[in-house]
Chain A
Amino acid sequence: MSEAITSKSWYRSRTIWGVIVALLAQVVSRWGYDLTPALQGEVVTVILDAVSAGGAGLAIFGRVKASKAIAPVKVRSGVAKALVTAMLLGGLALGGPTACAGYTIAQAEDPTPAQVIYAAQSEYNKALHAAAVYVESDAADEDVVAVLHRLSTAATETILDAQKAVRSDGGKSATAAAAVTAAHHAVEAFIDYLTSKGIL
């Protein structure tokens, strides 16, 4: 059975715009324009405000139908694939879908459980990157850090367990399915928390 999923639009992502503005800042610096980090942050905020206001205006006038898809992703049944799609839903398509192993695997015809877990773990690593930077930041909230500590421990353990299961028996056993389901829930909790705190 197939089901369609949706994910947050890339143009609503602070991370994506942050990357774009940072790259533009590097380009314009060649001509002597200095876009400081603070100014870059303001530019990103202005862009997101404009996107938000534009979206609200369009919705009010009923000229567009609300849609959260970057692009429709067809997902077949199966807990392993759900793990990847959960990450895409979490806005982890950093660098755009073309730079995304999860997106590639979600588009694939018939990926194996091992291929899916590999893609899922590579997506998970992106979330870990963002969390690590937050934790090491002077601005980090210690309560948030404590939660990230707990959630990342659980997510890493479960995704490594899922990997072990699919590597040992190809993901065909009930044990492997249970391991992948556990990884799905743990990683989803980690990503949801990062998203709720604006870290992703």
Chain B
Amino acid sequence: MGTAQLILLGIQIAEAAAQAIPEAIAARDAVERMLAEDRDPTDAEWEVLNAVTVGLTRRIQGG
């Protein structure tokens, strides 16, 4: 892999990290709500999280 490709890949991964930040903030906010309300995640909260997990795993599998 050439230097230019490595740099490009680094930038792409950095951009992906930037894209993931809003989701990360939403998850953090959800956790803070759960802690404040002393409750476990709701089914809806789990489903949102699972959709992201499954979707990203499928991308890695190439599907």
Contact = CB atoms under 8 A, between A and B. Distances in A.
A70 interface: no
A126 interface: yes
A135 interface: yes
A56 interface: no
B54 interface: yes
A51 interface: no
19 contacts: A14-B14, A15-B14, A16-B17, A42-B7, A94-B20, A95-B17, A95-B24, A98-B28, A99-B28, A118-B27, A118-B46, A122-B49, A125-B56, A128-B53, A129-B20, A135-B60, A139-B6, A152-B60, A156-B57
Contact of A128 (B5, B25, B60): B60
Main secondary structure of the interface of B (DSSP, over half): helix
B42 to A, nearest CB: 10
Interface of B: 1, 4-21, 23-25, 27-28, 30-32, 34-35, 40-41, 45-46, 49-50, 52-54, 56-57, 59-62
A8 to B, nearest CB: 15
Given A18-B17, A94-B24, A133-B13, A118 B56 contact: no
A75 interface: no
Given A19-B18, A38-B4, A141-B1, A159 B59 contact: no
A50 to B, nearest CB: 17
